[in-house]
Chain A
Amino acid sequence: MRSLVVGASAGLGRALAEELARRGHDLYLVASDERDLEPLARDLTLVHGVTVHTHAADLAALDPTDLRAGYDQRFDDLDCLFLVAGLGDPDDSGSVDPVLLDRLIAVNFAAGVRIVNVFLDDLATRPGAHIVGVGSVAAARARRNNSVYGASKRALEFYFEAIRHYLADAPCRVQFYRLGYMATQMFGDRETMLPVARPEQVARAMVDRLGGASGVRYLPNWWRWVMLLIRLLPWPIFKRLDV
């Protein structure tokens, strides 16, 4: 199996790369900084004996044809495409700095669409192929904080739904995850009453589900009940919550 992981340098992306390598996937890792990618590639090659290539690019300025060409130079076919990259910012509330706004949309949504688009035709017809996207519980109901981030992730989910529909009769699976709190730098040191998942746990669950049905799922799964409750909250109550 060959997998391409976008956003592989840290957090969930790195955990996912490690889990895939542990299960024998050759990897093409994409992230913004080669200084992070190179040691990860060396580690995975040494420990798991898989072939790992890297592609350093800023997702906000990514040329998807470059990415595709780079991949094709090193591997023949792609089995699994994972879009894990995400960018959040504490200033993403109310009126957002235009440069930040563009970057949030580019990294969380536009880059993902461009990357899927450039691999879509090949993946569509490939038995056992997967397109896997990562969203957030932040996109389940709009709120004042993380407004652009949440909207971008909702847009990405919408796009994945469209792709799932497009590939409904194709062998390729399209899976999308709404992730709950996870111990990454993006989550930071926020205090919460809810359990915080480790990236390694989430990565394992995602890889376990390869071969499973297309669709949208929460990870960890219990978040579905939390978000159901939040979505059902009447607006007069919801608007008073500091979320």
Chain B
Amino acid sequence: MKRRLRSLDGSYSCEADVFEPDRYRQLLSLGAEVKMAVQGGGISLTAASFGGGARVINMRRFNRLLGFDPERGTVEAEAGITLGRLSAFLVKRGFTVPVQPAHPQITLGGCIAANVHGKNPYRDGLFGGLVERLRLFHPAHGELMLSREQNGDLFDLTCGGYGLTGMIVSARIRIAPLGGNCCEVTHIRVADLADTFARLDELKESHDLLYSWNDLARFDRHMGRGYVVAGTFVDREPAPAGPRRLPRLDPHRGSVARLSLINPVTLPALTALYYRASRGAGPRILDLTRALFPAVERTFYFSAYGRAGFIEHQILVPDSRRLDYLGEFEALVRRHRQPIGLASLKLLQGRQRLLHFDGSGVSFCLHLPNRPGPRALLEELDALNSQYGVITNLIKDSRLSAVTARHQYPEFDRFVGRLGAFDPGRLFVSALSERMAI
């Protein structure tokens, strides 16, 4: 069926033929005649699950739990299961998925394909690290079982392969005991971005949730002020209740706001208000849903940038150069005077490989209105990033060029080469892969 699909950031839309198989014979008999894109929750910021003229195969009906082993600490499920459903099952049994992005509509397959990170990636690593094995279907190769030991090369390419190796049908992942029935969250005030680095460093080993919110919509001496969100799972009786309804995120309907409510004029006031409203004095107790999925009740936010949408620019600055980078970053932001809608920092720890958003450093996540001014700032940031060995998260930034990505990711061509060797016909594509010339 023909549908108009939009990226969550609102910057890309296209008409696509969408097929929602609901039986294995439909899924496993898909042929190699037309290019395909695999879709899970369909809420990726960039168009990673559609576009490029591909027929979209939506996996949402393949959302069943297949196994749960509390002794080994594993759960197995079909790829279309949402984190919300998986979490609801696991939390009741005292477990959680240690790496979860901010929204419960994201699917297991999407988490693997984008190799996402969670609330404290320094401690918990990336989602790919949880995957023990997965089942992949590619019309030219049939069904394949992948793990580090079996078809390891393809496993490696699929975790963080943006859905380009085929359809992830199911996966078994490691889970962890849940530390409590709710989360104690503290907002620790920080004066600026350098102070944020210091506080994140202090807390990185000890908290289940650790990220910051910083005000980059002002350019005076308070630029970068904000707070670090530090959360720990705790037990409280009775446990606080979660939201009664989980509003559905549906980017494909487009923004209801004709005008951008979040824009360079309103942003300084909005971030100042948010700063005042959120700097609570003492720790707060949050229910698990709100703690694990902080974006769950903020569906309006994503459409408040208006029809043109926004751009999420997430970068990873290497530890060794972060203070030098910060000076230049702040100078650039001050010079452009483009208010940033959301700025959030996290620490990561790992080794950068292939196209994974991984490495040891500090991640900056920035939301900017999709307008010429902010885009000009981002163009200059791209150049700065390339000088400092900074990488940009491909799954987040729908404006990033293939040239910049190739420059930033040392193994870009290695990924393309290995993908081409597995699938010379390059059956699986998306707007993201087309833009990246993969």
Contacts and interface: CB of A to CB of B under 8 A. Distances in A.
Interface of A: 9-11, 14, 33, 35-36, 39-40, 42-43, 46-47, 184-185, 188-189
A10 B89 contact: no
Contacts of B89: 46-47
A39 B65 CA distance: 7
Contact of B66 (A35, A36, A39, A185): A39
Nearest to B24: A35
Contact of A43 (B20, B23, B25, B64): B64
Interface of B: 1-2, 20, 22-25, 28, 61, 64-68, 78, 89
Contact of B23 (A10, A47, A189): A10
A9 B23 CA distance: 7
Nearest to B63: A43
A126 B363 CA distance: 65
A185 B22 contact: yes
B206 to A, nearest CB: 33
Contacts of B20: 185
A39 B23 contact: no
A10 B61 contact: yes
Contacts of A189: 1-2
Given A47-B89, A188-B1, A40 B25 contact: no
B23 A42 contact: no
A11 B20 CA distance: 12
Contact of A46 (B25, B28, B61, B68): B68
A49 B61 CA distance: 21
B24 A33 contact: yes
Nearest to A190: B1
Contacts of A39: 64, 66, 78
Main secondary structure of the interface of A (DSSP, over half): helix
Contacts of A42: 64-67
A185 B25 CA distance: 14
Contact of B22 (A10, A35, A43, A47): A10
A47 B65 contact: yes
A36 B24 contact: yes
Given A46-B89, A189-B1, A189-B2, A40 B23 contact: no
11 contacts: A10-B22, A33-B23, A35-B23, A35-B24, A36-B23, A36-B24, A39-B66, A40-B64, A46-B67, A185-B20, A189-B2
Nearest to B89: A47
A67 B344 CA distance: 59
Given A36-B24, A43-B65, A188-B1, 12 more contacts: A10-B61, A11-B22, A33-B23, A33-B25, A35-B28, A39-B64, A42-B64, A42-B66, A43-B66, A46-B68, A46-B89, A184-B22
- Return the 6 tightest CB-CB contacts between A and B, nearest first: A189-B1, A43-B64, A35-B24, A10-B22, A39-B64, A43-B65
B78 A35 contact: no
B278 to A, nearest CB: 36
Contacts of B28: 35
Nearest to B66: A42
A202 to B, nearest CB: 16
A36 B61 CA distance: 11
A159 B65 CA distance: 38
A42 B63 CA distance: 12
B82 to A, nearest CB: 13
B32 to A, nearest CB: 21
A11 B1 CA distance: 17
B300 to A, nearest CB: 24
A213 to B, nearest CB: 33
A184 B22 CA distance: 9
A118 to B, nearest CB: 26
Contacts of B61: 10
Contacts of A184: 22
A188 B24 CA distance: 18
Contacts of A33: 23-25
A47 B86 CA distance: 10
A22 to B, nearest CB: 13
A229 to B, nearest CB: 28
Nearest to B77: A43
B265 to A, nearest CB: 41
A84 B360 CA distance: 55
